[in-house]
């Protein structure tokens, strides 16, 4: 049962192996150059398991001690995970103790894969989710360790390899686009985020995008409820 | 890096982990008790994913430098290729691999 689940999910995680090794090695190298032993990227990747925040965390480790602002930055950078949790409430229900690890390890990529992959009937959904989470976690930690140990020895030209992540998100978006009839929500997601990125710059666009997307979706909810209320005065 | 003691470093890393875990666990903690979710949350759970995938697709492009050679043409072309290949073949690995290879060729040989 477990092996079958593993066999089903492993190929689906290969793009993430490529992407995480690329970014993870870059991250490990970055810490190495900043003077940290590979133990730091290893433990940080294991414990935090959130790429962009880990990069930011390096600069926190290099400046003066400010734990509270570290927490605030972490909450802001990671706020998007609230959206993932809300989307996964149902899918992660009733999976026993595995559930805690699934939530713990739910990074962008794990959420994307676990939300969109259609697990065949004969396979155990919980184990499929578990292996996706575990494999991605492993790819990220091993990439960071590799970078931390031998970052400088990698010589072949990997310029542009980061695009594997972009391609993954494009494909995930297309798959969801096909499954979801409400296409306007996809356009809202792309449009609002792109607009915020262009106007606010890359350091502060994300939180603004999330707030605006959330507001538009909420208004949409209120509006459809109002329309329904008109049609069905009792419902 | 001698500014921070080992304990202080651990606290900073712990804070980053705590912030991450609060965001990941919060929805599950808030909505674990009641067996029936509020309508609004059910609604959000159904509409958020497509918006979020759209958001991630743009978020992943945040480090693209618009003043680099090509001014974003490399990204536009590679994304278009990924979309077309995926619409035509609908094979995840193939679309991702081709899109990435095209992009790498572009930035290493064409737009540089």
Q: Classify residue A91: in a domain, yes or no.
A: yes
Cα torsion A114, A118, A122, A128 to 10°: value is -10
Contacts of B41 in chain A (CB under 8 A): 86, 89
Q: Which of residues 25-84 of B touch A (CB under 8 A)?
A: 25-28, 31, 37, 40-41, 43-45, 47-63, 74-75, 78-79, 82-83
Which of residues A1 and B46 earns the better pLDDT score? B46
- The whole-number pLDDT of residue B34 equals 59
Which residues of chain A have a pLDDT value below 50?
235
Distance, in angstroms, between A68 CA and closest chain B CA? 8
Which tokens in the block code for residue B14? 């712990």
Contacts of A41 in chain B (CB under 8 A): none
Q: Find which of B30, B41, B59 to mutate to test the A interface (most A CBs within 10 Å of its CB).
A: B59
Q: Classify residue A55: in a domain, yes or no.
A: yes
Contact A22, A143 (CB under 8 A): yes
Q: Classify residue A169: in a domain, yes or no.
A: no
Contacts of B56 in chain A (CB under 8 A): 108, 112, 169, 172-173
Q: Classify residue A185: in a domain, yes or no.
A: no
Residue of A nearest to B5 (CA): A65
- The whole-number pLDDT of residue B1 equals 46
Q: Classify residue A188: in a domain, yes or no.
A: no
Determine which of A55-59, A145-149, B76-80, B86-90 has the lowest per-residue pLDDT on average: A55-59
Q: How far is Cα A185 from Cα B86, in angstroms, rounded to an integer?
A: 21
Q: Helix B73-89 to helix A163-179 angle, to the nearest 10 degrees? A: 50
pTM for this model (two decimals): 0.84
CA dist A86 to A13, A200, B29, B37, B64, Å? 23, 27, 11, 10, 30
Taking CB atoms and an 8 Å limit, are B86 and A64 in contact across chains? no
Taking CB atoms and an 8 Å limit, are A14 and B93 in contact across chains? yes
Q: Classify residue A214: in a domain, yes or no.
A: no
Q: Which domain holds residue A31?
A: 2-157
Contacts of A93 in chain B (CB under 8 A): none
Taking CB atoms and an 8 Å limit, are A177 and B50 in contact across chains? yes
Contacts of A189 in chain B (CB under 8 A): 50-55, 57-58
Q: Classify residue A196: in a domain, yes or no.
A: no
Report DSSP state, residue B38: P
Q: How far is Cα A52 from Cα A59, in angstroms, rounded to an integer?
A: 12
Taking CB atoms and an 8 Å limit, are A194 and B58 in contact across chains? yes
Q: Which of residues 83-112 of B touch A (CB under 8 A)?
A: 83, 86-87, 92-93, 95-96, 99-100, 103-104, 106-108
| Candidate from A61, A174, A221 with C-beta closest to B12 | A61
Taking CB atoms and an 8 Å limit, are B50 and A112 in contact across chains? no
Structurally, chain A folds into a number of domains equal to 1
Distance, in angstroms, between A164 CA and closest chain B CA? 5
Q: What angle do CA A143, A144, A148 make, to 5 degrees?
A: 120
Average pLDDT over residues B63-68: 86
Which tokens in the block code for residue A225? 């409820």
SS3 B29: helix
SS3 B83: helix
């Amino acid at each position: 049962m477990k092996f079958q689940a593993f066999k089903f999910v492993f190929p689906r995680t290969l793009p993430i192996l490529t992407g995480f090794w690329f970014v993870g090695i870059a991250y490990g190298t970055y810490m190495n150059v900043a003077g940290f032993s590979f133990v730091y990227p290893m433990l940080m990747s294991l414990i935090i398991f959130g790429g962009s925040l880990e990069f930011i965390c390096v600069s926190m480790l290099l400046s003066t001690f400010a734990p509270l602002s570290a927490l605030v930055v972490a909450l802001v950078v990671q706020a998007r995970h609230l959206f993932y949790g809300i989307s996964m409430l149902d899918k992660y229900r009733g999976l026993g103790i595995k559930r805690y690890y699934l939530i713990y390890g739910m990074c962008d990529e794990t959420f994307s894969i676990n939300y969109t992959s259609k697990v065949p009937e004969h396979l155990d959904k919980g184990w499929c989710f578990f292996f996706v989470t575990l494999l991605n976690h492993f790819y990220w930690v091993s990439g960071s360790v590799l970078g931390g140990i031998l970052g400088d020895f990698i010589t072949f030209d990997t310029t542009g390899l980061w695009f594997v992540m972009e391609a993954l998100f494009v494909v995930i978006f297309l798959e969801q686009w096909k499954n979801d009839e409400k296409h306007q929500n996809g356009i809202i997601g792309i449009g609002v985020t792109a607009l915020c990125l262009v106007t606010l710059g890359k350091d502060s666009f994300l939180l603004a995008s999330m707030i605006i997307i959330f507001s538009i979706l909420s208004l949409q909810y209120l509006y459809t409820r109002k329309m329904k209320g008109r049609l069905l005065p009792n419902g | 890096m001698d500014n921070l003691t080992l304990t202080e470093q651990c606290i900073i890393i712990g804070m980053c982990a705590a912030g991450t875990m609060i965001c990941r666990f919060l929805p599950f903690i808030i909505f674990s008790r009641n067996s029936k979710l509020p309508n609004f949350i059910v609604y959000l759970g159904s509409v958020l994913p497509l918006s979020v995938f759209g958001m991630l697709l743009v978020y992943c492009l945040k480090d693209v430098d618009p003043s680099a050679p090509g001014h974003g043409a490399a990204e536009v072309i590679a994304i278009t290729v990924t979309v077309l290949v995926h619409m035509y073949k609908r094979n995840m690995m193939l679309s991702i691999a081709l899109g990435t290879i095209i992009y790498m060729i572009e930035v290493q040989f064409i737009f540089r």
